[in-house]
Structures are given as structure tokens and as C-alpha cells.
Amino acid sequence: MPPDKLTQFRRQREVVQQHLDWLDAEIANHPDGPPTTPSSEAPIVPALELVDPEGADIVAPDMNPDPISASMEAKRGCLILFFVVIGLLVATLVGIYFWKYRDRPLLFTEATDANYSRVVVG
């Protein structure tokens, strides 16, 4: 370990120790006094069993994420969302056309242009 890193660690430990000393002094000077220990002993709770990380796969192999299926599900979801948005856009445009512009045809406008210009002009 580099010497400068070691001195940094020691300096940090001193700062933490000073902070802990200050906390102890504040607790001792508190109006309620220092904390008292409970008269009855707390029930002993058994500690959790430690499991090594290598053995964790044996315990629950189905809990591990599968990156391939997760990426396929994400791609499928994005594709479905894309087609839903495109469908909503088309449905909106068709709805606007039938709501406002139904009397103006989009196709074969040559025959109707002559009638429309005759009505407009005179």
C-alpha cells in the first residue's frame, strides 16, 4: 500500500475517533443522563447462517437473472410499443380526416376540382 494512502487512512481514523469522543461527551452531558442498560436480558436470537457465494447458486438457481431472455423481452416490448404508437398515430389521422375533411376527397380529385372551381369562381 502506498505510504500516502496509509497516512490518509490514519488521518481519517483520527477524525472519526474525535467525532466518536465528541458523541460520547454529548451523550454523557445530555439531561437524561447516559443510557442505562436494560435490567432484563434481551432474548438471544440465533444468527443467520452464512452461505458462501459459490454455494448460493446451488440453493436457488432459478433466482439468477437470465440476460438473454431479459434482452429478448425488452426488445419484444419495445417493438410492441412501437407498433402501438404507430397504430395510434394512424388512427388519429384517420379520425381527423373523417371528422373534419370528409367532404374533400383525397383520391381522384380531377373530377371534383372542376366542380369545385365552378362553384368558387362563379
What is the number of domains present in the chain?
A: 2
pLDDT reported for residue 1: 60
Residue 47 is assigned to a structural domain of this protein: no
Residue 51 is assigned to a structural domain of this protein: no
Return the amino acid letter for 28. A
Residue 46 is assigned to a structural domain of this protein: no
Residue 45 is assigned to a structural domain of this protein: no
Residue 55 is assigned to a structural domain of this protein: no
Per-residue pLDDT tens over the stretch 9-49: 888 999 999 999 998 888 888 877 655 665 666 666 666 66
Residue 24 belongs to domain spanning: 1-34
Residue 54 is assigned to a structural domain of this protein: no
Give the SS3 label for residue 41. coil
Residue 91 is assigned to a structural domain of this protein: yes
- Answer whether 34's CB lies under 8 Å from 27's CB: yes
What pTM value is reported for the model? 0.38
Residue 15 is assigned to a structural domain of this protein: yes
More confident residue, 53 or 11: 11
CA-to-CA distance for 78 and 37, rounded, in angstroms?
A: 59
